[in-house]
Amino acid sequence: MTESILLHLLRPGQRGIIARINSSGALRRRFVEMGIVKGETILLERHAPLGDPMAYFIKGYHLALRKEEAAQIEVVLNG
């Protein structure tokens, strides 16, 4: 069985496949514009020194998200 967790709970170097976006409206539209869509693989590269924001790699580019934003995204652990 696959384990589903929230994106902000990944550890550096872990990959996940986006399973669900738990937001609506402008934030959801912003996620889609950034390439955060169901089925896409996302990698947590590192945390900022104070833990927020977090640096991710998705679709060939680097992306920084705040923890509160990343907590809206569910991923299935990959590998």
| Span 24-69, pLDDT tens digits | 889 999 999 988 999 999 999 998 888 789 999 999 999 999 999 9
Q: Which of 4, 5, 7 is nearest to 53 (CA)?
A: 7
Question: Is the pLDDT assigned to residue 21 strictly greater than 60?
Answer: yes
Phi/psi at 61 (5° precision): -140, 165
Fold of 4-78: SH3 type barrels. (2.30.30)
Tokens read off for 5: 């967790």
CA 62 vs CA 4, 40, 54, 78: distances in Å = 23, 14, 10, 19
**Cα separation of 71 and 79, whole Å?**
21
**pTM given for the model:** 0.87
